């Protein structure tokens, strides 16, 4: 079936979900918000710093699975304001190389704990 995955290098789940689950050769990474895994507090109210923390959290989960950002096949970005799209896009791109994964980016009415950005990803394990 599926195998849950977790690491202390990324924020603990704040609800009934796993940080990630592995199904076959796919790793589904739950949406990450800008929580520092040690304090479980936001790193900042600044959207750029939040986006960096989100990508670091995703990176920690990938690392636990023996993967890197290069394994990401699809990502979804959720923004509290589409006005932050360019800033978040720049941060997101700084962690990736071509060929870039497929991606969606949408504005939502609210994110958990009042985050400005949340990103979920699907990675290929083989």
Mean pLDDT of 52-66: 98
Q: How confident is the model over 67-79, as pLDDT tens digits?
A: 999 999 999 999 9
Name the CATH topology of 3-124.
Answer: 60s Ribosomal Protein L30; Chain: A; (3.30.1330)
Would you say 60 and 45 are in contact if contact means Cβ atoms under 8 Å apart? no
Write down the pLDDT at residue 29: 98
What are the residue ranges spanned by the domains of the chain? 3-124
pLDDT above 90: residue 2: no
75-105 burial, b if ≥16 CB within 10 A, otherwise e?
A: bebbbbeeebbebbeebbeebeeeeebeeeb
pTM summary value? 0.96
Structure tokens at 78: 């959720």
The CA distances from residue 69 to 1, 97, 120, in Å, are 24, 8, 12
């Amino acid at each position: 079936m599926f195998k849950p995955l977790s690491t202390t290098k990324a924020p603990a789940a704040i609800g009934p979900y796993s940080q990630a689950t592995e199904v076959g050769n796919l790793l589904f990474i739950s949406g990450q918000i800008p929580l520092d895994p040690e304090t479980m507090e936001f790193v900042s109210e600044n959207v750029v710093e939040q986006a960096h923390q989100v990508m670091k959290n995703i990176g920690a989960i990938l690392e636990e699975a023996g993967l890197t950002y290069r394994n990401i096949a699809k990502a979804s970005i959720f923004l509290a304001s589409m006005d932050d799209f360019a800033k978040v896009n720049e941060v997101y791109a700084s962690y990736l190389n071509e060929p870039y994964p497929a991606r969606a980016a949408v504005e939502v009415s609210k994110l958990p704990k009042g985050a400005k950005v949340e990103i979920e990803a699907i990675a290929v394990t083989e």
